[in-house]
Amino acid sequence: MSFVETRGNDGIKPIEVSFSEAILNPSSSFGGLYVPKTLPNLGEDFIEKYLNKSYKELAFDILKAFKIDIDDNEIQKALDLYDNFDNPNNPSPVVKVKDDLYVNEQYHGPTRAFKDMALQPFGSIFSSIAQKKDEKYLILAATSGDTGPAALDTFRDKKNIEVVCLYPDGGTSDVQRLQMVCDSGKNLKVLGIKGNFDDAQNALKNLLASNSFKEELKKENINLSAANSVNFGRIIFQIIYHFWSYLELVRQNAIKNGEKIYLIVPSGNFGNVLGAYYAQKMGLQIEKLLVASNENNILTEWINTGIYDIREKSLKLTKSPAMDILKSSNIERVIYDLFGSARTKELMEDLNKNSRFEMSKDETKELQKYFSATFSNDIFGKKTIKEFLDNGYLMDPHTATCIKAYNDLRNKVLKTVIYSTAEWTKFSPTVLNSLNENSTKYSDKEALDEISSKFGANLPNSIKKLFSSQIVHDSIIEKENIESEIIKFIRKS
């Protein structure tokens, strides 16, 4: 299967590329993204075939349906990394919390967040391609908290790979920061920046498109790529677990095969819900995709009005920081799928030049066939965390935003899956404030200890040991110094 460009072709880059080329070089013409030329149709009997198969078997066959140019043994080697999750047979368990509400727990991997579901196999495949081609790559990652630790973990000490991770100083939890700054991999560099996630992501996109930066890297015989969800190598693995959610509901006798369900995704950069959208287009029986945001509710406004306008907006720092984003990269892939490359280029250029774009009424109606959206604030999140623990289920503040969509957006009485994208341990002070109904400023360690002892919550060893780990990366830099710091790192490596 070949991949094409969301904003059309500039006459310089190839009109179509392979999967391996799309993930090695994710920046396409006019600053666009790569997408599959077509999506595989898995057929009506697909679910029935996989009811008795493992997650790895499901993943292998979905990847093969895309006809990616990766050897079978390399695919299997990548998928075998799910054996390092809490339960190798069920790396993304679906848990019933109410009669019609289920939670897909995506945080059972090595860094305790959903990014492991895609980045663990993605890192393995990327590294194998680089070694086969005998090429060296610099991987850039911008993170609002969870992409960074997952990217560093998957690429740690991999041959032919250097990684630079950008995170907003003060914009992540202590646990997330420690996961990054204590990582001692010899091929890794972590940079805190004075700014927010959008600043980090904009820097990443600008560097991916910068010919002068690429020329500097070429002097060191290094190519440039990215580990954010701008890279389709991430997205392809994010399609799989939506099929797994459906399979689990059938296995648990919650639904019969063929029944439609709602999926609710807490959304920041829109990659997770994009995977669900692609799954729906590939044949998964989804009634509608419900998008949950925090007070940075740009996605809610876009889906409800067709207008994406960040001119008067400033990023709000909330208790669900992984969703503190104003420019969501993956809406571009949805716009391309619905309206084509010419319209995508027009809208994205409007956003880049004017910090705004507006779709037509007909385009907005088409978007709303697939998506509904709402948002909640931190007060709602804290009340929700307490309410659910009082009934026996502990969740993090991102998962809590999904309950607003569950309460307000469903037009039919259908089984519903929400996506829990991070373990409570990543945001323990907020969780403890919720449970104790106070505003005390807890350190992460205080909150972790109290929640684990007072409420009997499991505290993974990987989280415990962070607080006695040595800090390796202590750089906090201005945004304008990002490129020069990266060049210095590359020349020292």
Other CB atoms closer than 10 Å to residue 469's CB: what's the count? 13
Q: Which residues have CB under 8 Å from 491's CB, separation 6+?
A: 220
Identify whether the C-beta of residue 291 lies closer than 8 Å to the C-beta of residue 303. Answer: yes
What's this model's pTM, rounded to 2 decimal places? Answer: 0.95
Name the pLDDT band for 205 (thresholds 50, 70, 90). Answer: confident
Please give the biggest Cα pair distance in the chain. 62
Q: Looking at the predicted structure, is the pLDDT value of residue 161 above 80?
A: yes
If you average pLDDT over residues 205-219, what whole number do you get? 92
Handedness of CA 132, 237, 326, 421 (dihedral sign): negative
Q: What residues are paired with 188 via a beta bridge?
A: 163
**Are 357 and 388 a contacting pair, CB within 8 Å?**
no
Tokens (6 digits) for 489: 């790192």
Please report the pLDDT score of residue 279 as a whole number.
98
Q: Please determine, for residue 493, whether its predicted confidence score (pLDDT) is greater than 80.
A: no
What confidence category does residue 419 fall into, taking pLDDT thresholds of 50, 70 and 90? Answer: very high
Question: Is the per-residue pLDDT at 356 higher than 80?
Answer: yes
Amino acid 306: pLDDT: 98
Q: Evaluate whether 403 touches 80 at the Cβ level (below 8 Å).
A: no
Cα gap 452→468, rounded to integer Å: 18
* Contact between residue 393 and residue 456 where contact means Cβ atoms under 8 Å apart: no
Query: Can you say how many angstroms the Cα of residue 481 is from the centroid of all Cα atoms in its chain?
Result: 26
The answer to whether 172 touches 462, Cβ cutoff 8 Å, is no
Judge whether 161 and 226 are in contact, CB under 8 Å. no
Q: Are 413 and 100 in contact (CB under 8 A)?
A: yes
Give the residue-averaged pLDDT of 10-19: 97
Q: Which of 226, 239, 285, 278 is nearest to 259 (CA)?
A: 285
Check residue 492 and give its pLDDT: 83
Percent of the chain at pLDDT > 90 equals: 94
Alpha helices for 210-312 (secondary structure H): 211-218, 232-251, 271-281, 298-305
Q: Write down the H helix ranges in 318-357.
A: 331-339, 341-354
For the chain, domain boundaries: 82-113+233-468
Instruction: Kindly tell me if the per-residue pLDDT of 108 is higher than 80.
Output: yes
Give the residue-averaged pLDDT of 322-344.
96
Task: Kindly report the number of other CB atoms within 10 A of residue 458's CB atom.
Answer: 11
DSSP assignments along 92-135, one per residue: S-EEEEETTEEEEE---STTSBTHHHHHHHHHHHHHHHHHHHT-
What is the SS3 assignment for 293?
A: strand
Closest CA to 459 of 199, 175, 242: 175
The number of residues making up the chain comes to 493
Question: Residue 422 in contact with residue 402, Cβ under 8 Å?
Answer: no
| pLDDT exceeds cutoff 80 at 461 | yes
In the CATH hierarchy, which top-level class contains the domain 82-113+233-468? alpha beta
Q: How far, in Å, CA of 5 to CA of 225, rounded?
A: 16
User: Position 297: which residue type?
Assistant: N
| Spatial separation of the C-alpha atoms in residues 34 and 26, rounded to whole Å | 7
CB 162 within 8 A of CB 111: no
Q: Which one, of 61, 95, 105, 94, lies nearest residue 79 by Cα?
A: 61
Neighbours of 41 (CB within 10 A): 11
Binned at pLDDT 50, 70 and 90, residue 468 comes out as very high
Q: What are the backbone dihedrals phi and psi of residue 108, each rounded to the nearest 5 degrees, phi first?
A: -95, 15
Q: Which two tokens stand for residue 310?
A: 């960040």
* 261, containing H or E segment: strand 261-266
Whole-number Å distance between alpha carbons of 419 and 92: 10
Among 253, 243, 320, which Cα is nearest to 283's? 243
What does the mean pLDDT of the chain come to?
96
- Integer Cα distance of 464 and 448 in angstroms: 9
Rounded mean pLDDT of 459-463? 96
